[in-house]
A and B are shown apart, each in its own frame.
Chain A
Amino acid sequence: MLNIKNLHASIEEKKILKGINLIVNPGELHVIMGPNGAGKSTLASVLTGKDKFNIDNGEILFDGQIINELPPEERACKGMFMSFQYPIAIPGVNNMYFLKEALNSQKKYRGETQLDSIDFLGEMKTKLKYVGLEESFIHRPVNDGFSGGEKKRNEILQMITLEPKLSILDETDSGLDIDALKIISEGINNFRNKDRSFILITHYQRMLDYLKPDFVHVMIQGEIVKSGDKSLALELENKGYSWILNEKVETSQS
């Protein structure tokens, strides 16, 4: 699904990613944890093609194709989705209209039949239930005046509507209360299957109580320094990151 090979990326001459290697297979859920400024969100931006970042070295393969130069909308159409840490408001544009445009743009790109408003609305009604939102929600302007929790639910609503192959969830758990966290986690769990992959970027292991990750990676200073299973996340929560740094220093010295 996704194969990141020795990825180096920078912004305005400042190196942020320093050789990331990561393979995500269909159906897998990977968690990336790490201290502030480690480059986690940059990785998400580089993967989705935000053009203020430069790829200095390495390759991103998505479904076997190198996508380093592919514009963001084409990556999206090929099935890559990001749940934004800070979803952007678009005043004046109706949420449903936005989502329909997005879905139909993707369908058009893939040569599939586009949905008309009636079919789309029908589909939305079902999907709204998965994220615990009222129908009136989709008639509001995109993220405009939404609460923090509503914004995150809206991201997940978009995800389950667009049905991406790879979902990158950038701190989807931050700013959520326990109930919202549970609802969103359930939404994600319902959406999981053997073909869909996930990369979850987070600071906390609490969301992992609901989602069962296959791998947990620790990213520090632009590199993945340690990988493991769910127990690694628990260990990090208890001990912080410094022990990994020490471990890393010891390894490089020996």
Chain B
Amino acid sequence: MPEKIITDSINQEYKYGFVTDIEQEKIPPGLNEDVVKLISKKKNEPEWLCEWRLKAYRHWLKMVEPDWAKVNYPKIDFNEISYFAAPKKKLNSLDEVDSEILDTYNKLGIPLQEQKMLAGVAVDAVFDSVSVATTFKDDLFKQGIIFCSFSEAVQDHPELIKKYLGTVVPITDNFYAALNSAVFSDGSFCYIPKGVKCPMELSTYFRINASNTGQFERTLLVADEGAYVSYLEGCTAPQRDENQLHAAVVELIAMENAQIKYSTVQNWYPGDKNGKGGIYNFVTKRGICKGDNSKISWTQVETGSAITWKYPSCILKGNNSIGEFYSVALTNNRQQADTGTKMIHIGKHTKSTIISKGISAGFGQQTYRGEVRINKNADNARNYSQCDSILIGDKCGAHTFPYIDVRNTTAQMEHEATTSNIGEDQLFYCNQRGISTEDAIAMIVNGFCKEVFKELPMEFAVEAQKLLEISLEGSVG
């Protein structure tokens, strides 16, 4: 019976694998300075931004694709990718959004039209490379909150973009960040002014639609002194045979006493059971706790993508600042994930918490890679790290690489790691009490992830649980 369940699980189809048929404007594949300039021109960007992109591009040319991650994939030909795709029609308001696009969102279960009535979630939906529509913008604006697509921000708030862009993830940071800086197409921008507590969860829903396009979005989130914001990000992609590249950059900036909570539920297409197709998710996410007493908290649930390469990190510069990283990553079938975080303690009395839960099933390979660095002047810094892995079946793998670099003797570090597997005995025990194998796995996995799920906003927590259940359906042997 267990074998049958494995088979069923592997045959589970990707629920979001539909393609939306709309007229698209797409630049032919290939990358050179002209393409970079063309993207900038299409977006009507100021001269300085075009120069910034070109600088990034020229630097990127000198860089080498990193190979230290524990993932395997054929070399990417960056000249086969189209760097820009957008729906042809220009849009001014939600009412003008192409009905097919709206249908897409409906299939995803996030009807934009109804968003206004729903739960007070403002959504900036990124469809391929251009932000389609931003809801709630006006309501938020009354409080001084800016929440719009990145392109709009470039037009309407160039001074803010110029001030903050690339300050957390410089263009020279890494191969994919440099590439993103050169060709990013759109994304979200958010600014919470001094002392404002954002009254609703802000949300972005990413979806890659066009084939052979890379999605390079750019997110910049600034919480000014004493501000608070909770930001949600969800991702899906249509099912395609070829691999699609997603190389995003997310930058968070928290000033004095500010708090940013950033939650992601990532469900990109993971490829089929043989590992064909699927998204390559190579993302740079980093936040800086710039001011004293600031706090940045990353929560991620990663169930999709063929390959995930992602380390949401915190630079704890302000004194007493706090960085948190809560992660659930699941790899099934042929999925590979190399994920973790970096906590860089610079200020005094800084604190960081890392809770990482990895679930491997099928032939999935999973790596936790994390770095905790306590700089020389970071007196009384504290870190607590906990990395747990659970294995389902005997063909998958879990690996843990924690790097710890302490340069101040007052630091307090704690690290715990466990690896366990869901055993036949556990399942029989549950069965004997009347609980089916599938329910038992869901129960055990949810129990395993509980510490992370409780960090997610309510609706997201429910979605995350369901996602895990779907992704794991009966993957036990």
Contact = CB atoms under 8 A, between A and B. Distances in A.
Interface of A: 48-52, 71-73, 76-77, 81-82, 84, 87-88, 90-94, 97-99, 101-103, 105-106, 109, 141, 158, 162
A52 B423 CA distance: 13
Contacts of A92: 444, 447-448, 450
A90 B447 contact: yes
B439 interface: yes
B54 to A, nearest CB: 51
Interface stretch (B39-47, B212-220, B425-433): B425-433
A48 B432 contact: yes
A57 B437 CA distance: 27
A162 B433 contact: yes
24 contacts: A48-B432, A71-B431, A73-B432, A73-B436, A76-B431, A76-B432, A77-B434, A84-B429, A87-B429, A88-B429, A90-B426, A90-B430, A91-B420, A92-B448, A93-B443, A97-B447, A98-B433, A102-B433, A102-B434, A102-B435, A105-B433, A105-B436, A162-B433, A162-B434
Nearest to A86: B425
A158 B420 contact: no
A109 B429 CA distance: 18
Nearest to A48: B432
B447 A71 contact: no
Given A90-B426, A102-B430, A105-B439, 12 more contacts: A48-B432, A50-B428, A71-B1, A73-B434, A84-B429, A88-B423, A90-B429, A92-B447, A93-B443, A98-B430, A105-B434, A105-B435
A90 B444 contact: yes
B65 to A, nearest CB: 38
The range of chain B's interface size is: 20 to 34
B1 A82 contact: no
Contacts of A106: 434
A128 B422 CA distance: 28
- State the majority secondary structure of interface residues on B: helix
A72 B431 CA distance: 6
Given A90-B426, A105-B436, A141 B447 contact: yes
B1 A98 contact: no
Which of the listed residues A50, A76, A92, A94 has the most CB atoms from chain B within 10 Å of its own CB?
A92
A77 B436 CA distance: 10
- Residue among A48, A73, A105, A162 having the largest count of chain B Cβ atoms under 10 Å: A73
A103 B434 CA distance: 8
Contact of B433 (A49, A51, A76): A76
Closest 4 CB pairs of A and B: A92-B447, A102-B433, A93-B447, A72-B431
Contact of B434 (A50, A97, A109, A141): A109
A91 B435 CA distance: 17
Contacts of B437: 73
Contacts of B431: 49, 71-73, 76
Contacts of A71: 1, 431
Contacts of A73: 430-432, 434-437
Interface string B215-255: 00000000000000000000000000000000000000000
Nearest to B447: A92
Interface in B404-454: 420, 423-426, 428-437, 439, 443-444, 447-448, 450
Contacts of B448: 91-92
Contact of A93 (B423, B428, B436, B444): B444
A108 to B, nearest CB: 9
A175 to B, nearest CB: 18
Contacts of B447: 90-94, 97, 141
A76 B444 contact: no
Which of B420, B437, B443 has the most chain A CB atoms inside 10 A of its CB?
B443
B355 to A, nearest CB: 13
A159 to B, nearest CB: 10
A77 B434 CA distance: 5
B443 A101 contact: yes
Contacts of A94: 447
Contacts of A99: 433
Contacts of A84: 429, 432
Nearest to A82: B432
Contacts of A102: 430, 433-435
A25 B433 CA distance: 22
A98 B434 contact: no
B390 to A, nearest CB: 9
A76 B434 CA distance: 5
Contacts of A158: 433
Contacts of B430: 73, 90, 98, 102
B432 A101 contact: no
A109 B450 CA distance: 27
A235 to B, nearest CB: 33
B446 to A, nearest CB: 8
Contacts of A105: 433-436, 439
Contacts of B435: 73, 101-102, 105
B443 A98 contact: yes
Contacts of B432: 48-49, 72-73, 76, 81-82, 84
From A49, A76, A93, A106, residue with most partner B Cβ within 10 Å: A93
Nearest to A52: B424
Contacts of A49: 431-432
Contacts of A88: 423, 425-426, 428-429
Contacts of A82: 432
Contacts of A141: 447
A158 B439 CA distance: 18
A103 B409 CA distance: 53
A36 B424 CA distance: 24
Nearest to A93: B447
Interface in B447-466: 447-448, 450
A34 B31 CA distance: 79
Contacts of A87: 429
A81 B431 CA distance: 10
A106 B433 CA distance: 8
A50 B431 CA distance: 9
